[in-house]
Structure 1
């Protein structure tokens, strides 16, 4: 075992072995929770193998061994996704508001990340200026047999009030069906709301980007621009 170089250890989401960490370990694949528990306890990683490489190996296997798809595991899926998004984007985004409700309690959003990057020329500043993305909505869909379709897109768009802005993302266990893509285009045509479709593969790629010292929000900007190009 070799000692961790400064700054090369696991992100803060792994620094205590909490309920969320156990869910994250399951999401990433069997065995990784024990791996991080041991490595954090020893303050070491395998010689010549950074923690993120082992992490990503397990993510790649997690389609079979990770968080179960379907309604029974919705909370576990949501907790894991929020922790990954916090690691990727906070800061420069602020700590998310989890399951905030409207005043009447009739609507509940999954997670909202405040974007306070006013007058900045980075990706979040551009999205704030271009889409008024003051509060960025993430909705999580851990579906098995059910399709992510037009109803989920309509619901997500309805959550985007004028003060929040016009940017949301759906993070799903599967890709949305063609009807969802059509509805997303129609919503943009009528309201200019942008709804991104993200999967586990996108989360993996952003973790790679973070490890390489790149800005993972570049992928978010790429997805926005790709949507603009395919819109009709």
Structure 2
């Protein structure tokens, strides 16, 4: 526990080098009630804020696709991997389905095993256990970063759909930017929903809500519960 406190203090100092002394953050580790929780929340707020700044600094369009992809990967790693899940991974997209956009390298999809580190709560009220259960049978969450200026169309929905299957899971997440899904995309979402597949399409505003949930709660469970509720009522 002492080592954990030491790591927490070092991380807080590195994120708040000026405020640590002036605001007496060291007092959070003296055993006062709620001190450790406050320190952890400060760390989440700083990391989440840094991620939002990177997102805002990334322009929609092909020129910044790699930057946007990196932001999305770090979002998944920060909010999933570091508190509940195992390591997130960026996997090269299949060359027969996707073409690299420029000389910087091949575009990648982000995957994370949907197996929690601490299987102490098997309550179906926990959204991850619902995703793992029928009809979704989701062993992995798959993410795709689309740094587009315009809306997501049926083509992009079916691209993600091809990555999903009953053996690995039926849930995918597309990061869009300023606009969500056009009418052709909505028709595609309705069609795959009939077969118990889910593809969430998230704009920058959705990502802000995602990060807000993480900084507040230390988990994004409630955010994904809300996503599923909205999805169920929308299509």
**TM-score scaled by structure 2?**
0.69
Runs of 4+ in 1 over 4 A off after TM superposition: 5-11, 48-63
CA RMSD of aligned residues (A): 3.4
Cα distance change, pair 162–58 in 1 and its aligned pair in 2 (3 A) = closer
Say whether residues 1:72 and 2:76 are aligned partners: no
Which segments of 5 or more consecutive residues in structure 2 lack a partner in the other structure?
Answer: 1-5, 26-41, 99-107
Say whether residues 1:44 and 2:46 are aligned partners: no
Q: What is the count of residue pairs matched by the alignment?
A: 197
Q: 1:135-193, CA deviations, whole angstroms, 9 ceiling, x for partnerless residues?
A: 1111111012x43111101111111122211101111112223321221111212x221
Report the Cα distance in structure 1 between the residues aligned to 2:49 and 2:110, rounded to whole angstroms. 27
Report the Cα distance in structure 2 between the residues aligned to 1:75 and 1:199, rounded to whole angstroms. 17
**TM-score scaled by structure 1?**
0.70
Displacement of 1:79 in angstroms is: 0.6
Which segments of 5 or more consecutive residues in structure 1 lack a partner in the other structure?
Answer: 16-35
| SS of corresponding position for 1:136 | strand
Q: 1:100-140, CA deviations, whole angstroms, 9 ceiling, x for partnerless residues?
A: 456xx535761111112478322212211131110111111
Report the Cα distance in structure 2 between the residues aligned to 1:205 and 1:185, rounded to whole angstroms. 24
Select which of 137, 148, 152 maps to 2:142: 137
Are the equivalent residues in 1 in contact too, given 2:44–2:214 (CA < 8 A)? no
Cα distance change, pair 59–186 in 1 and its aligned pair in 2 (3 A) = same
Larger radius of gyration: 2
Cα distance change, pair 93–175 in 1 and its aligned pair in 2 (3 A) = farther
Report the Cα distance in structure 1 between the residues aligned to 2:88 and 2:144, rounded to whole angstroms. 12
